Structure 1
Amino acid sequence: MTRSGVQEEPGPGLPDGGPQAPDGANGPPEGGRRPSAGRGRRALRWSATTLAVLILGTAGAGYLYYEHLNGNIEKGERSSGDSEAHKAEPNAAGQTPLNILLIGSDSRASDENVKLGGGRDTRGNPPLGDVQMLIHLAADRESAAVVSIPRDTRVDIPRCEDPETGDTYPATNDIINTSLGRGGPGCTLAAWQNLTGVYIDHWMTIDFAGVVSMADAIGGVEVCVNQNVWDRPLPGVPGGSGLKMRAGSEKVEGERALQWLRTRHAWGSDLLRARAQHMYMNSMIRTLRDQNVFTDTGRLTDLAEAATTSLTVSEEIGSVKKLYDLGMQLKTVPPDRITMTTLPTVEDPQNRNHLLPAGAGAEQVWAMLRDDVAFDAKGGASGKSGKDGSKAAAAASGDPAAPDGEIAVQVRNATRSATLGPVGGRAAAVAGTLVSKGFTRAAPDTSAALAEERTEVRYPGAASRGDAQRVAESLGIPVSSVKQSTGVSGVTVVVGADWREGTAYPEQPAPEAGDLPEDADALNGSETGTCMDVYEPYRW
């Protein structure tokens, strides 16, 4: 990949640049996250990236005459991290889902990016991937799902190697936006695959300058607020996007659209900013579908130029023809079958300014993606479940397992839940089961019981991946629950609250269409007239 970028300077009083708000009236709304100083700069990239894909999908074969467009597209390695995930099994028609990771780069690598995003004094720092979302196109191409992860969500980031510099970064546990600076978009993709168990086919990134270019190209998108909004600096809360508009609907474009998508303080939290971004994206999709660009050659050319110069993409889709084919697949999905969501999260006990995936709720979202279950209630499952595909996936691992008797396994009791205490002796019972199956080096961890909603098999690095998959297979644990983790030193079975009894992991109910957690904040692509509520200090 040829682009590089820098990290925005941390917010005041927070070494890691996490969110911060003052005490008193300007604090966050009850139950919300604290607004961060200067954090409204990074919100537009993903929408513009999606716009670029959609434009390329509506342009038709005419774009293919512009051979110079191929030269506009910057490309990079698909995966640069220690990660393994397998494509879903084809459905009855031989189709497989398509997954695209969209990343908004917090790059200050150009004068234009510095002008739009600030942070001139941190221009040489690594970039942050502050907006990340996964687009999942169903195998039958009849529905699509979008999942955003808040930038301050703490996850395991695998060992990555920067394909440009050759620098190697060890595995770590950190907020997900730092992954972009540890090996580029390919490292972010690897982190997502390890977190979700979902194979990701492609990534696409966009920076500040590309955002404005694409916002200008579309010519206006309608957004709406319920109260007058002015996202401006307040005492103790510097920064702000500058967005100022009256209650009601307004069409925004160019830097005006940038203001909408950068706004965070006025909505009150990162999670609510994701909702505003989803509203913009839905409106943008409807706008593009309503426009007839085929008869306007000049505008068609402008849209193609903006799309190809705004994007950096993974190398396997690095041509106009391939992007066109990709866009045509996305174009087939009607708005009422597109569902935008945000990953359910909880406050990180190690740092209240960070988040963690919310146990069962997060796993439900990932299971629906892995099993290709529609996020809206109109569809169904068109792929195979992780349970069905566990043996095939394990067999396909690039790391063969050692003989069972040579695999050292530690078993932890994590059966405590929010409503139930731990089940005594579970680690010893599961370890005994493993010994009876030939894993003679299995032993219980005698430390205090933990609290994990889902059972997992964790391993520290690629060298033990095959061993972990073999252990999971022996216990009936799906391969999607085999996760690389910096928190273990060897293969570790974490017996969660979903396995409180018995010697075989209980079969989990298959997710059903539309069965999303309530806190996923689902928004259907056909919804119109939805407006953002403005956090009171930012009303005028």
Structure 2
Amino acid sequence: MPSVGGGAYGNGHGGNGNGHGGGGGEGPGNGGRSHRRGDGGRGDGAGEGRRAGRSARRSRRKRALVWTAGVLSFLILGTAGAGYLYYEHLNSKLKKEDLNLGSKDMADHKPNSAGQTPVNILLIGSDARDNKANQKLGGGRDTFGADPLADVQMLVHISADRSNISVLSMPRDTMLEIPECRDKKNGKVYPALKFEQTNASLGRGGPGCTVATWYNLTGIPIDHFMMIDFGGVVSMADAIGGVPVCVQQNIHSRTRDGKGSGLKLKKGTTYVQGEQALEWLRTRYGFGDGTDLYRAQAQQMYMTAMVRELRKNTKLTDPNKLRKLAEAAIDSLTVSDTINSVKKLLDIGNDLKKVPASRITTTTMPNVYSTRRPGKVEPMAGEAEDVFRMIREDIPLDGKASSATKKKPKTETTPVSDDPAAAPGEIRVRVQNGTDGDGLGPAPGRAGEIAGALGAKGFTRATTTSVRNPQAKTVVRYGADDLEGDAQAVAKSLGIPLSAVKKAPASDGLEGITLTVGADWRQGQSFPKPKPKSNKVPASAKAIKGDDDKACMPVQPGFTW
């Protein structure tokens, strides 16, 4: 089995870069200062009533505080948001950056029948070694001062009706297209990279480029991001008294040449705290087959276990500890400018707390090992898009019904053109290869193959062009109104739906008809018939339920003791 990415202290970025694994996870708690006021010794009934009311309010505030810590720790791998009574102080320390540094605007959400919309939050764990605390925890002296890498990337989808949460992890060693990004602080433009490792996106202007990269691949509109560094994992795990994790055998993550996180645990369940919690999140050598895919699985297990611990409402009861936790959290948290205050963090927390653990589902992007870059992975054609589509369409990944799955899909029909088509042998059409429109490499020879198929159907004037035009979906474009019928005839001959026939804007200067073979047609001479949409998450996504407290990580041979 090829080794994906670098070790926890090894080399993983494009084979040469930093490979620090868990990346982040700092966990803000909603800490605060407990203010107490005396009642002047009053003993009348009204005083008692007011004291009871204040006591109830304090109790509600404490419960809300614990809930907020819980749901926001879920959001940021063990970091809790910030709130409580010194809101303004924390609010002034909240660091914000632009949501999207790409050139493509993100689509708006489609509301459900009740007018509700989902919320998508990209969690980014940075391996930045930009201060002494992170340098001590992160190791890797040779990477001090280097561009940070987005070594943890998880998309949290809160359903429109707030009944369920879906979490999608992308392995840090995923090879894909990183779009052009502009650093708005200094105006620097980073050109698009056709085939690069996803964690490099963070160093191209900031987290807004990681957002743009996700949107470019998945088409999922992202509302917010939250980025954290190493330090908060330690403080959050300590604050809640540890997080339960499980291994099937004794494990020690250390290779003969000194690589590995150093994690050493006995078989069964252990409550990890402090730096041991960070070791768990960063362990690659020792889990499963030693690849980054199992590290992502371990991070998901940790996150769901932390949520379960926090929901017990028995840990975070010390206001002073909560205050310190919130301070540490805010110091290592950067959010998108769409989260303009700590109140917005608390609002997100209120949405999250409505969802029971049984309706939280964590998954990993379906992937395959890359043949173009050994040791790395690429999105799995078909099944990765199935998961992306389910999130875009607000379909729960746990298989249970929701308002989204109950709606009947609308059928759209494109009318046949009134413009009569010429004879096939008279229609000129150029064919170009756009099969790399999904971030994968182009399928070679597709333009020639489809031009040949057209020729066999009588379109003898079909030619090819070497100009590539990456498209996710196959499209037939025409330049003038009197070519609409001809363009539809070309589409019908190959089984391409008429909805894929488009008039090119005048600014394109297109003359004639161009057929661009998209990423949805990588093989075969007839356009593939659409498969019935499935609302079941594929097995390759390795779904884990939030209330599964029996999960246990397999241990890699050679890393037991």
- Match of residue 473 from structure 2: 456
Question: How far 1:316 moved relative to its partner?
Answer: 1.6
Query: With structure 1 as the length reference, what TM-score do the two structures score?
Result: 0.74
Do the aligned residues in 1 keep the contact of 2:25 with 2:229 (CA within 8 Å)?
A: no
CA-CA distance at 1:125 after TM superposition: 1.6
| Structure 1 position 297, deviation (Å) | 2.7
Per-residue CA distance 1:257-287 (angstroms, 9 max, x = gap): 0111111101121111111111111110001
Residue in structure 2 matching 1:510, options 500, 514, 533: 533
The 3 A distance-change label for structure 1 pair 496 and 196 is closer
* Cα shift readout 1:142-164 (whole Å, capped 9, x = no counterpart): 11111111111111101101122
The residue that corresponds to 1:16 in the other structure is: 14
Evaluate the alpha carbon distance shift between residue 218 and residue 349 of structure 1 in structure 2; reply closer, same or farther with a 3 A threshold: same
How far apart are the structure 1 equivalents of 2:378 and 2:81?
A: 42
Whole-Å separation in 2 of the counterparts to 1:295 and 1:48: 16
Is 2:256 the counterpart of 1:247? no
1:99 to 92, 108, 120: 120
In structure 2, relative to structure 1, the CA distance for the partners of 1:351 and 1:62 (3 Å cut) is: closer
Q: Which structure 2 residues correspond to residues 104-183 of structure 1 after superposition, within 5 A?
A: 104-172=125-193, 173-183=195-205
Give the whole-Å Cα distance in 1 for the aligned partners of 2:13 and 2:308.
41
Indicate whether 1:315 and 2:332 are aligned. Answer: no
Distance 1:323 1:230 in 2: 37
Task: Say whether the 8 Å CA contact 2:13–2:173 is kept in structure 1.
Answer: no
* Counterpart Cα distance in 2 of 1:52 and 1:445: 57
1:399-446: per-residue Cα shift (whole Å, max 9, x none)? xxxxxx9x98725689xxxxxx999986238989xxx9xxxx995458
CA contact (8 A) 1:341 1:521 kept: yes
Q: CA contact under 8 A between 2:432 and 2:466: conserved in structure 1?
A: no
The match for 1:66 is 87
Aligned partner (choices 338, 363, 366) of residue 385 of structure 2: 363
1:136-189 per-position Cα deviation (integer Å, ceiling 9, x unaligned): 111111111111111111111011011223211000020100000011100000
CA contact (8 A) 2:23 2:150 kept: no
Distance in 1 between the 2:95 and 2:82 partners? 21
Q: Evaluate the alpha carbon distance shift between residue 55 and residue 297 of structure 1 in structure 2; reply closer, same or farther with a 3 A threshold.
A: farther
Distance in 2 separating the partners of 1:389 and 1:81: 32
Q: Distance in 1 between matches of 2:294 and 2:15?
A: 19
- Counterparts in 2 of 1:254-293, with a 5 A limit? 254-267=274-287, 268-292=290-314
1:417-436 matches, within 5 Å, as 427-428=450-451
Q: Aligned AA for 1:240?
A: G
Q: Which residue of 1 aligns with 2:362?
A: 340
CA distance in 1, matches of 2:501, 2:327: 45
**Is 1:526–2:555 an aligned residue pair?**
no
Q: For residue 232 of structure 1, report the CA deviation from its aligned partner.
A: 1.4
Q: For residue 45 of structure 1, what is the aligned residue in structure 2?
A: 24
Superposed CA deviations along residues 296-332 of structure 1, whole A, max 9, x for unmatched, are 4334423433332231000121311010001111111
Residue 54 (structure 1) aligned with residue 71 (structure 2): yes
3-state DSSP of counterpart to 2:293: helix
In the alignment, structure 1 residue 216 sits paired with structure 2 residue 238: yes
What's the offset of the Cα at 1:64? Answer: 5.0
- The answer (yes or no) to whether the contact 2:446–2:517 under 8 Å persists in 1 is no
Q: Which residue of 2 aligns with 1:401?
A: none
| Maintained 8 Å contact 1:207/1:310 | yes
Q: Is 2:110 aligned against 1:89? A: yes
Q: Which has the larger radius of gyration?
A: 2
Counterpart CA distance in 2 for 1:475 and 1:212 is 57
Counterpart for residue 476 of structure 1? 499
Moved more, 295-304 or 105-114: 295-304
Report sequence identity in percent. Answer: 45
Residue type at the aligned position of 2:517: V
Q: 2:98 aligns with which of 73, 77, 80?
A: 77
AA aligned opposite 1:241: S
State the match for 1:464 in structure 2. none
How far apart in 1 are the matches of 2:237 and 2:545?
Answer: 22
1:252 CA displacement: 0.8
Shift of 1:121: 3.1
Structure 1's 56 and 130: CA in aligned 2 closer, same or farther, altered over 3 A? closer
Which residue pairs with 1:328 in the alignment?
A: 350
Q: Give the letter aligned to residue 198 of structure 1.
A: I
TM-score by length of 2: 0.71
Residue 467 (structure 1) aligns with: none
SS state of the match for residue 188, structure 1? helix
Measured on the aligned residues, the alpha-carbon RMSD in Å equals: 4.3
SS at match of 2:91: helix
Q: Which amino acid aligns with 1:494?
A: G
What is the aligned partner in structure 2 of residue 493 from structure 1? 517
Deviation, 1:457, is 4.7
Contact 2:228/2:334 (8 A) holds in 1: yes
Could you tell me which amino acid in structure 2 is paired with residue 510 of structure 1? K
Letter in 2 for 1:84: D
CA pair 128-477 structure 1, distance change in 2 beyond 3 A: farther
What is the deviation of 1:210? Answer: 3.0
Which shows bigger deviation, 281-290 or 112-121?
A: 112-121
Q: Relative to 1, partners in 2 of residues 1:183 and 1:495: Cα closer, same or farther, differing over 3 Å?
A: closer
CA distance in 1, matches of 2:408, 2:141: 46
Residue 228, structure 1, aligned to residue 250, structure 2: yes
